[in-house]
Structure 1
Amino acid sequence: MIHKDLIKKMTLEEKASLMSGKDFWQTKDIERLGVNSIFLSDGPHGIRKQAVAADQLGLNEGIPATCFPTAATVANSWNEEMGEKIGEYLGEEAIAQKVNVVLGPGINMKRNPLCGINFEYFSEDPYLAGKMAAGYIRGIQSHGISACVKHFCVNNKEERRMAIDTIVDERTLREIYLTAFEIAVKEGKTKAIMSSYNMLNGTYTNENMHLMQDILREEWNYKGCVITDWGGSNDRIAGLVAGNELEMPTTAGETDEEIIQAIKSGKIKEQVLDDCVDRLLELILTTEEVYKKPHMEFDVEKHHRVTQKVAEESIVLLKNEENILPLKYDKKVAVIGDFAKEARYQGAGSSIVNPTILDHTLDCFDESGIVSIGYESGFERYGKKSKKKIDRACELAKQADVILLYIGLDEVTEVEGMDRKSMKIPENQIDLLNALQKVNPNVVAILSCGSAVEMPWIDKVKGLLHGYLGGQAGARAILRVLSGDVNPSGKLAETYPIHYEDTPSFYNFQDKEVSVEYREGIYIGYRYYDTADIDVLFPFGYGLSYTTFEYSDIEVNKEGVIFKLLNSGNIAGMEIAQMYVGCRSEEVFRPQKELKGFVKIFINAGESKTVTIPFDDKTFRYFNVKTNKWEIEAAEYKIMIGASSDDIRLVDTIFMEGTGAQLPYDKDKLPSYYSGKVNNVGTEEFENLIGCKVPVSTWDRTKPLGYNDTIAQCQYAKGLFAKLVFRIIVFLHWFLRKIGKRSTANIIMMSIYHLPFRGIARMTGGALNMKMLDGILMIVNGHFFKGLNHLIKEKSKMAKGKKS
């Protein structure tokens, strides 16, 4: 232990007190020993330190901070160095606001396009996500504070995220869902990790000994701190034993007392608590320098310029028919679409940043050199149809040479805590596009959203520029790409399927019951589409430029791959060269190709550069479930260099000596996995993969509701009062959407409907404890008066305890 002497001076009560928050955003202090509180703040793409007091929870407005592009946007830059630079600026602003721990970045995989918080995650590929995250972490922690990567792990669905059980095989867990976290720990050296809400194979992640001890602590040698997601603690003692140091937010001492009693009764040894206290103290004492430094304001204008540069490098040009872009200086453009007036620049939920400056498209035309003849909104932002708006937009479009059409997803469609209902953009926007295209075929669409969408309308546009969610300077950055001041260099960090039904998790994502089964295994994203030979709209790694690049002269050796890259166009540009590896053996099922390296390089027109992409410890490995280790199969491997996963320019091979491990699978029992056609795997085959029976995935309607059942399950409750409450919640949600209060309606679904009962206690900062919750559950289960009496008694006890 690092802080053994300090811990010896603490009472049992003091040690236990450190294991939960002081309020919603701070840790507890021990004044007599000089142990200070530290402040934690949301911050995946900007610091969201709430302007209200720290004892209030919610999505309150934060102190102004730079709103950088979201992780989904920055991932399209494929620029690790830029990720580190963003981290440095985030860290600088955290210091200015006296924040010790920045809650980010988020590095869960984009398993399915409908996950509501995909905008906060980097990619469908763990290698790309891990490398980008490591950059962020290094940048943030260069200021002496801590990053906190999240959500550990397999949190790939927002609905019922606090109660859902994720069923996934060990190899898929390691290769797909843990690799990014491994890179964040080993290369980024993150000081903190946030555990996810969900269960993993029947056990909550922060209580899962295999995850928290075998993998995180022993295999990865992680010495840092694990923090629960807010309200994410289930069994506090089980979490402590697993090595979950800090429970957030405060429980007003309730779980501290649980820890004290568990030690006094001999249920757990005090050494378990001491180890957790030691790791938390290390986080506190190594980040408290923020309070000793003189207050310094950050340079608002400078940070704004940086976020513009980040956005410029992350924008993806997806279509450029007839070279309609960049816009010629003599072209008159009509600006159409609600997102042009009110930019869609970040996601919605706990990561909302109050920007220091906010650029809007209509305010930036004068400096862009683009000649705008006018603006029309064309559509209602939240989907309501309006023929008048379309007619006015068409009249303007007739007068223009080119239409700039700003479309995408709104703030209440992509939101934390809820999943999208479909991959489509709103129908009223498509109606507008169809009408515009009839009066003027020169349509350039500018898309704003944080995840993949279907595009059955793509033949109606000549140009398509995807800005994703570009932060507070995203609008200006888009205009600079449209005008040609910036040559686009972003490439997609996720695949765009033609139809949602094409996705590998189509049959196993929108389940409404207890568990979600990852039956597609290791085949997510391009790993599936390429192996199963499924056509896609835009492949992983795809993006156009205003120039062209030629690849040649590949050489492969034991250290890596070397090749030449020529800018064969007439303007300077940046190219993202990607290295994929495919194993030619058929003994262990593998995707056709996997990303194992990449480089982004600037090349002047006509210039040629020699590029090297090294191999590393992840290039040839796979996880063997028989040996429970990473192994290398003795085989010939294809080394593929491409401009995208579907555009391979150079190929060579190399033979690698293997580790001699026994084969992990019976090929005859896993035909879908050996073929890669895994979009609808049967139960028996999935059970052969996971090595056990698939747990029952439906709620037990016959049992009384308990702590980990959700409010939504009140529809099955025995108590009439609970059923009435359920119907009121459903009605309120419907009514609020009907009158246009969509954000409030979403909060009801996120914060009430899908909340497990224990969350009522865990998220109220001690205002309602678990004993009072027992009374509520009695009411729910049909014992109204007994439960009400219990609730009142426990409320009275709490009040007396506070007075004393």
Structure 2
Amino acid sequence: MIALRILKYLFFLTISLIIITLSIVYLNLDYKMYPLKANQELYSQEIWKVDTDSLAEELVKKMSLEEKIDQMYGEKMYKSIPKFFGNFVLKQRFPHIYVGSNERLNIPPWVLSDGPRGARVLDKDVKAVTTFPVAMARAASWNTTIEFRVHDVISKEMRANKTNYAATPCINLLRHPGWGRAQETYGEDPWLLGEFGVAAVKGIEKNNVMACPKHFALNSIENSRWVIDVSVDERALREVYLPHFKKVIQEGKPASIMSAYNKVRGKYSGSNEELLTNILKNEWEFEGFISTDWMYGIYDGIEAIKAGLNVEMPWQDEYNYNTIKEGLIDGKISENDINELVLSTLKTRLKYAFSYDSLDYTHDLILNESHINLAREVSEESMVLIKNENILPFQLGENLKIGVIGRLADTENTGDLGSSNSKSPYVVTPFEGIKNYHINNSNKVYLDKAKEINKSVELAKELDQVILVVGYDYSDEGEYIMSRGQMLKSAEAKKLIGAKGIGGDRLSLKLQEGDEMLIKEISKVNDNVVVVYVGGSAIDMSSWEEDVPSIVFSWYSGIEGGNALAKIIYGDINPSGKLPFTIAKNSNDYPYFNPYTDTITYGYYHGYTLFEKYKKEIAYPFGHGLSYSKFKYENFNLVNNNPKDSILYFSVDLTNISKVGGKEVAQLYVGFENSEIDRPLKLLRDFKKVYLDAGEKKSINFKINKSDLSYYNTEKNKWINEKIEYNFYVGGSSSENHLIKISNFLEL
């Protein structure tokens, strides 16, 4: 009888706990929302005229210790967890997490929204936002002006959704194409990353949204991100993995920056004093505030405070009252340490809370016609024509039979479903785009999802034009979620332990077996084929590339991708995208990469610098991309060579020698072949995207700051310029076959 009573008690207790938990979650689905701007009624002058630096100093003096600590984390865990998971699971949306509110002192909060391809956090009655092609696609446009415009739109829609802190751009370097979150960044080259990162930050900040580039630093493996320890020597750190962050901080001037999950030289990034204080704050003079990535960002609150970490996200964990008070009592930290962190955060974010808005950020801004048109324009500029043996553009005849074939042919596929995802109002698939293009003519467009390959082959025999759509979706690559325990076990075992989650890193760079078989079989029966690859990074095409006459990288191309693809294939738009990475001939030639590892060394060479230095054969070079036009480079000159000048100026004549108007990406590289130390053979140092009419000739100007010729001297701990003969190259890709060269001895 006693045992039965205990069981009944446990049963009713369990039911009660479930009911209470569900009630808490339900109540938090319709959470209270708060204004993010300062209350004008509390100030005698316009709020944008308030001296926010002085105000921040006054506020910190008035705060109790607990109030200061409350500025150092997202929300209290008991409030945040049910709201976050309830909304995410039951409503498939990210909720507003309010950070740093203080009603007594009238300090408004701030709210984070991810946004690599569209605003992530939506207002309660907003269903969708403009979804752009992923960052890797936009990098392939080599058009920083369009990247600025994209983030201008994204930040407008963030403000309309009542958020004011953008956890973007991601500027981690693509060390290996298998990285699951490659789609979120801008490629393998630090210079390209830096230029795009600056454009993104400036576009975000234009609308009084705090930009937060991420993840600082050396975050280039997904499946072990919470546990991996990255070793790197000082020159590789300074010359390869940090230059783009430095440029974005110093030229873009973002309000904030996000620390990475991984360790660097044995210290977690969120508690890494060398990264956060010595380099970021002291050397680079960063004056904003540092937030952690969400969950598992820090493991020791005292270490993080000493390292200079301002805000723990998304809720209070390690920055709890007891830990900090004990640290103060034990003398491990001082209240002045707390004051400095809180003050730098307030000085930064109050500028945005008190800023003047030239726009009224209403819901009318979201998905307006200009935003949708920009999404299509970005798709058109980013697609890369990899190979073309006089197949494209397809002829627009009459009564043609056109097939769009593949399991992804009619799939809404905008990228991964993690933090970089955004709610789309619609997605024009490849099939829909081709069908829309032919809607007013006599041609017939067939859809075949390749469920039975024999039937697909039989259909292909009857077709005049074949568009084969292959690649990946969110299940193959993207942000990866598993328990930290399982991640640690897998990392220590150097292989997956337990069931694999959705997305993550790619173990193989090949397409799925069914895709490769489809390409091989259809290419045997139809010569008029274009393979359209959907994905976020490089792939291994070695087993089928020679079987097909044309290949287009369309990426995860946003809401208007299908319409853009049709215009590219049929010649309404001349392709102008260029690869932001190198594609190896042999996938084993990339740097070592294992998604499941607890330690790794990042070397000095990767990407085109590695392939060139060690004479590894490549399939397609960094910067490669074909056009329906042909361009000629000539008369390449160094305009000035005065030792007193801090900037070198170059010019080259570029001519469109075809009968088709088009855009070319002219790329300027500096060569270090004559260096007395170990350096890359050459590095990208400028680029320009220009349009030329058929037969038109233009003079293109470039510049290189002499400081961008330097290397990091580890003995002197400073940047040094060599007095040597430098080689300079200009052309349409990084390949020697596409470049013209000049040489000059420089007195630096």
- State the one-letter code of the partner of 1:467: S
Compared CA separation, residues 371 and 644, structure 1 to 2 (3 A): farther
Tell me the distance in 2 between the aligned counterparts of 1:583 and 1:437: 43
- State the one-letter code of the partner of 1:443: V
- State the one-letter code of the partner of 2:101: D
Name the structure 1 match of 2:483. none
Contact 2:134-2:557 within 8 A present in 1 as well: yes
Tell me the distance in 1 between the aligned counterparts of 2:595 and 2:108: 45
Name the structure 1 match of 2:386. 318
Compared CA separation, residues 371 and 151, structure 1 to 2 (3 A): farther
Give the match's secondary structure for 1:187.
helix
Match of 1:297 among 345, 357, 364: 364
Contact 2:505-2:595 within 8 A present in 1 as well: no
Tell me the distance in 2 between the aligned counterparts of 1:338 and 1:346: 16
Contact 1:378-1:392 within 8 A present in 2 as well: no
Match of 1:582 among 668, 671, 674: 671
Name the structure 1 match of 2:36. none
Q: 1:353 and 2:449 equivalent?
A: no
Q: 1:514 and 2:598 equivalent?
A: yes
Contact 2:227-2:598 within 8 A present in 1 as well: yes
Q: 1:538 and 2:620 equivalent?
A: yes
Name the structure 1 match of 2:183. 119
Q: 1:246 and 2:311 equivalent?
A: yes
Compared CA separation, residues 376 and 367, structure 1 to 2 (3 A): closer
Count of equivalent residues: 637
Name the structure 2 match of 1:652. 742
Contact 1:120-1:347 within 8 A present in 2 as well: no
Tell me the distance in 1 between the aligned counterparts of 2:508 and 2:570: 33
Tell me the distance in 1 between the aligned counterparts of 2:537 and 2:282: 35
Name the structure 1 match of 2:524. 438
The 5 Å alignment of 1:6-155 reads: 6-22=59-75, 23=80, 25-49=97-121, 63-155=127-219
Tell me the distance in 2 between the aligned counterparts of 1:289 and 1:329: 59
**Identical pairs, percent:** 34
Q: 1:200 and 2:264 equivalent?
A: yes
Post-superposition offset of 1:376: 3.9
For structure 1, the 5+ residue unaligned runs are: 54-61, 380-385, 659-804
User: How big is each residue's C-alpha offset from its partner over 1:283-335, in whole Å with a ceiling of 9 and x where there is no partner?
Assistant: 33122259985634215132111111011000000111124324343453211
Name the structure 2 match of 1:447. 533
Contact 1:491-1:542 within 8 A present in 2 as well: yes
Name the structure 1 match of 2:697. 608
- State the one-letter code of the partner of 2:739: R
The 5 Å alignment of 1:589-604 reads: 589-604=678-693
Name the structure 2 match of 1:4. 57
Give the match's secondary structure for 1:149.
coil
Contact 1:376-1:392 within 8 A present in 2 as well: no
User: How big is each residue's C-alpha offset from its partner over 1:160-208, in whole Å with a ceiling of 9 and x where there is no partner?
Assistant: 2111100011110111111111111011111111100000001111211
User: How big is each residue's C-alpha offset from its partner over 1:669-690, in whole Å with a ceiling of 9 and x where there is no partner?
Assistant: xxxxxxxxxxxxxxxxxxxxxx
Match of 2:281 among 200, 213, 217: 217
Tell me the distance in 1 between the aligned counterparts of 2:611 and 2:664: 24
Contact 2:637-2:650 within 8 A present in 1 as well: yes
Give the match's secondary structure for 1:522.
coil
Give the match's secondary structure for 2:674.
coil
Contact 1:584-1:635 within 8 A present in 2 as well: no
Contact 1:48-1:63 within 8 A present in 2 as well: no
Structural RMSD (CA): 2.0
Tell me the distance in 1 between the aligned counterparts of 2:65 and 2:709: 49
Contact 1:494-1:539 within 8 A present in 2 as well: yes
Give the match's secondary structure for 1:619.
helix
Compared CA separation, residues 565 and 284, structure 1 to 2 (3 A): same
Post-superposition offset of 1:395: 2.1
Contact 1:326-1:481 within 8 A present in 2 as well: no
Contact 2:415-2:473 within 8 A present in 1 as well: no
Post-superposition offset of 1:211: 1.1
Match of 2:446 among 357, 363, 375: 375
Name the structure 1 match of 2:323. 258
Name the structure 2 match of 1:166. 230
Post-superposition offset of 1:254: 6.0
Tell me the distance in 2 between the aligned counterparts of 1:533 and 1:294: 53
Compared CA separation, residues 75 and 38, structure 1 to 2 (3 A): same
Post-superposition offset of 1:499: 2.3
Compared CA separation, residues 69 and 256, structure 1 to 2 (3 A): farther
Post-superposition offset of 1:420: 0.8
Post-superposition offset of 1:498: 1.8
Give the match's secondary structure for 2:654.
strand
Tell me the distance in 2 between the aligned counterparts of 1:399 and 1:470: 29
Compared CA separation, residues 619 and 290, structure 1 to 2 (3 A): closer
Name the structure 2 match of 1:267. 332
The 5 Å alignment of 1:181-200 reads: 181-200=245-264
Q: 1:236 and 2:236 equivalent?
A: no
Tell me the distance in 1 between the aligned counterparts of 2:274 and 2:252: 22
Tell me the distance in 2 between the aligned counterparts of 1:205 and 1:644: 35
Compared CA separation, residues 171 and 286, structure 1 to 2 (3 A): same
Tell me the distance in 1 between the aligned counterparts of 2:519 and 2:186: 30
Name the structure 1 match of 2:580. 493
- State the one-letter code of the partner of 1:150: K
Name the structure 2 match of 1:308. 376
Compared CA separation, residues 377 and 251, structure 1 to 2 (3 A): farther
Taking structure 2 as the reference length, the TM-score comes to 0.82
- State the one-letter code of the partner of 1:310: V
Tell me the distance in 2 between the aligned counterparts of 1:344 and 1:461: 24
- State the one-letter code of the partner of 1:6: L
User: How big is each residue's C-alpha offset from its partner over 1:12-60, in whole Å with a ceiling of 9 and x where there is no partner?
Assistant: 110011101113632131101011111101111111115789xxxxxxx
- State the one-letter code of the partner of 1:408: G
User: How big is each residue's C-alpha offset from its partner over 1:494-522, in whole Å with a ceiling of 9 and x where there is no partner?
Assistant: 0111222111x13xx2174421112xx22
Name the structure 1 match of 2:505. 419
Contact 2:404-2:430 within 8 A present in 1 as well: no
Post-superposition offset of 1:272: 1.0
- State the one-letter code of the partner of 1:415: G
Contact 2:611-2:618 within 8 A present in 1 as well: yes
Match of 1:621 among 701, 710, 718: 710
Match of 2:408 among 339, 346, 366: 339
Match of 2:562 among 461, 470, 475: 475
Contact 1:16-1:257 within 8 A present in 2 as well: no
Post-superposition offset of 1:617: 4.8
Contact 2:259-2:270 within 8 A present in 1 as well: yes
Q: 1:398 and 2:461 equivalent?
A: yes
Q: 1:549 and 2:635 equivalent?
A: no
Tell me the distance in 2 between the aligned counterparts of 1:562 and 1:361: 40
Tell me the distance in 2 between the aligned counterparts of 1:167 and 1:635: 31
Tell me the distance in 2 between the aligned counterparts of 1:395 and 1:584: 54
Contact 2:301-2:319 within 8 A present in 1 as well: no
- State the one-letter code of the partner of 1:109: L
Q: Name which of structure 1's ranges 245-254 and 543-552 shifts more when overlaid on structure 2.
A: 245-254
Compared CA separation, residues 109 and 439, structure 1 to 2 (3 A): same
Post-superposition offset of 1:72: 0.6
Post-superposition offset of 1:344: 2.4
Contact 1:304-1:357 within 8 A present in 2 as well: no
Compared CA separation, residues 147 and 371, structure 1 to 2 (3 A): farther
Tell me the distance in 2 between the aligned counterparts of 1:399 and 1:172: 55
Q: Name which of structure 1's ranges 1-10 and 124-133 shifts more when overlaid on structure 2.
A: 1-10
Compared CA separation, residues 46 and 256, structure 1 to 2 (3 A): farther
Taking structure 1 as the reference length, the TM-score comes to 0.77
Contact 1:78-1:490 within 8 A present in 2 as well: yes
Give the match's secondary structure for 1:150.
coil
Tell me the distance in 1 between the aligned counterparts of 2:156 and 2:637: 42
